Amino acid sequence: MAGGNAVVVFSASGCCMCHVVKRLLLGLGVGPAVYELDQLELASSGGREIQAALAQLLPPGQPPVPVVFVGGRLLGGVDKVMACHINGTLVPLLKQAGALWL
């Protein structure tokens, strides 16, 4: 799931921090693939299984969503995305992954 698109966001539809990450990426001109894990749960237990797998990749104590992958590699949660945006490394990462052209 994370390797098929330049930017993938695992999210929950009612999560305000997920909304912040998605709006930031859209504002930068990125069209991320977004997987709303709470909506995947409606079809099966897939959302919970994915969320459990993602939790294994994150540092202890970090919220389970949002989780962002850029270029098939884990970037991190909202704290990492915002830190990269503030320190100026997010846009070059997005360009390198092919999510931005300009």
Q: What is the pTM of this model?
A: 0.89
- Give the tens place of pLDDT for each residue, 30-73: 999 999 998 875 556 667 788 888 888 988 888 889 999 999 99
- What domains does the chain contain, in order, with CATH numbers? 7-96 (3.40.30.10)
Can you give the pLDDT at residue 64? 86
Q: How much is the CA Rg of the chain, to the nearest whole Å?
A: 13
Q: Are 14 and 41 in contact (CB under 8 A)?
A: no
Which 3 state secondary structure label does DSSP give 75? strand
Maximum Cα–Cα distance across the chain: 39
Average pLDDT over the chain, rounded to an integer: 90
